[in-house]
Amino acid sequence: RAQQVTGDTWAEDPACYLEDEEIGVRPEDYGAERVVTTPWVRVSRFERLAAEQAAAKLTAEGGR
C-alpha cells in the first residue's frame, strides 16, 4: 500500500492501525511529515469518461 499511495516502498503504511510504540518507531524516525490520504469515493463511468476526455484534450493541446 505504501508503494501504491506514495511511490515509496519504505513509507509508512497508510492502512496500518498499530501505534508507533507497537512497531518500534519514534516520531524522530519519520519527522513531522505523514502520509496524507483521502477517502475512497465511487466515481461514475460518466464522470471517469469526462475526466479522461478532458485529460486527453489537454495533452493534445500541449497542456494549455
Q: pLDDT tens, 3-18?
A: 887 788 887 777 778 8
Residue 64 — pLDDT band, cuts 50, 70, 90?
low
The pLDDT > 70 percentage for the chain reads 95
Q: What is the 3-state secondary structure (H, E, C) of the chain?
A: CHHHHHCCCCCCCCCCCCCHHHHCCCHHHHCCCCCCCCCCCCCCHHHHHHHHHHHHHHHHCCCC
- pTM value is 0.37
Given a cut of 60, is residue 46 above it in pLDDT?
A: yes
In this prediction, residues 36-51 reach a mean pLDDT of: 81
Residue bearing the bigger pLDDT, 34 or 18: 18
